């Protein structure tokens, strides 16, 4: 008997779990309303709170976008030619940031990434720096930390460069998953009720 109800129990547990995950991840978003802000930030050394050499190669301020339970940052690299790769944390891993703007003449590049911790504290960023014209060639991989001053946040809707990755948010995906699981749940219940009726007949 209980076997029949197992899919229903699993689906319910899944929905409850997903909802819990959703609400725990929205906790940090409460301080800033949805919108775009300029924010001051600093690149700190990987293992101490001193300002990193890399700090000079990033234009200030950056832009912070708050959208529901998500936060994104856009910042511009000077000497784009030298900074070959930039990676932001996603879970236990690092992922290449998205490039949303480039100006070859000015040698700048604007990148965007999601702030998993909402920039509530300094977070790591990996970079690969390669300066071919130096003798010997300067070629290093570093991990620095980015410290965003959330108190400096000033509303600035105009500056954000729209890109496809902020249009379709994880929240949308979550709602789709919940809808699909809920539909499966309804089908399971209907089938169960029907088979019960059949058995009685």
Do 178 and 18 meet the contact criterion of CB atoms below 8 Å apart? yes
Q: Is 83 in the site for ligand HEM (CB under 6 A)?
A: yes
Among the residue ranges 13-21, 76-84, 148-156, 182-190, the one whose residues contact ligand HEM (CB under 6 A) = 76-84
Binding mask 143-182 for ligand HEM (x = CB under 6 A): -x--------------------------------------
3-state SS track over the chain: CHHHHHHHHHHHHHHHHHHHHHHHHCHHHHHCCCEEEEEEEEEECCCCCCECHHHHHECCCEEEEEECCEEEEEEEECCCCCEEEEEEEECCEEEECEEEEEECCCCEEEEEEECCCCCCCCEEEEEEEEECCCCCCEEEEEEEEEEEEEEEEEECCCCCCCCHHHCCCHHHHHHHHHHHHHHHHHHHHHHHHHHHHHHHC
Tell me how far apart the alpha carbons of residues 95 and 89 are, in angstroms, rounded to a whole number: 6
* 94 touches ligand HEM by CB under 6 A: no
Let me know: does 177 contact 18? Beta carbons within 8 Å: yes
Q: Which stretch binds ligand HEM (CB under 6 A): 19-27, 94-102, 138-146, 188-196?
A: 138-146
Contacts with ligand HEM by CB under 6 A: the residue count is 14
Q: Does 53 bind ligand HEM (CB under 6 A)?
A: yes
Would you count residue 97 as binding ligand HEM (CB under 6 A)? no
57 binds ligand HEM (CB under 6 A): yes
Q: In the complex with ligand HEM, which residue's Cβ is closer, 83 or 88? A: 83
Q: Please identify which residue in 10, 14, 94, 142 interacts with ligand HEM, judged by CB under 6 A.
A: 142
Q: Alpha-carbon distance 159 to 156, whole Å? A: 6
Closest separation in Å from C-beta 141 to ligand HEM = 9
Q: Least distance (Å) from ligand HEM to the CB of residue 95?
A: 19
**Shortest spacing between CB 173 and ligand HEM, in angstroms:** 34
Contact between residue 116 and residue 92 where contact means Cβ atoms under 8 Å apart? no
Q: Which of 32, 39, 54, 88: binder of ligand HEM (CB under 6 A)?
A: 54
Chain residues that interact with ligand HEM, rule: CB under 6 A: 45, 52-54, 57, 79, 82-83, 127, 129, 131, 138, 142, 144
């Amino acid at each position: 008997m209980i076997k029949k109800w197992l899919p229903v129990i699993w689906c319910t547990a899944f929905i409850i779990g997903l909802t819990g995950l959703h609400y725990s991840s929205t906790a940090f978003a409460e301080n800033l309303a949805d919108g775009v802000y300029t924010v001051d930030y600093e690149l700190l050394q990987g293992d101490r709170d001193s300002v990193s050499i890399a700090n000079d190669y990033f234009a200030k301020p950056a832009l912070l976008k708050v959208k529901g339970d998500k936060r994104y940052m856009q910042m511009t690299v000077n000497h784009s030619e030298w900074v070959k790769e930039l990676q932001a944390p996603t879970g236990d891993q690092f992922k290449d940031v998205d490039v949303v703007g480039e100006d070859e003449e000015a040698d700048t590049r604007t990148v965007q990434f999601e702030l998993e911790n909402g920039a509530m504290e300094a977070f790591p960023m990996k970079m690969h720096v390669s300066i071919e014209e130096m003798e010997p060639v300067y070629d290093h991989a570093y991990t620095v930390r980015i410290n965003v001053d959330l108190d400096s946040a000033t509303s600035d809707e105009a500056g954000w460069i729209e890109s496809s990755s902020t249009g379709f948010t994880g929240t949308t995906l979550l709602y789709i998953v919940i809808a699909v699981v809920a539909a499966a749940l309804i089908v399971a219940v209907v089938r169960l009720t029907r088979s019960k009726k059949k058995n009685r007949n």
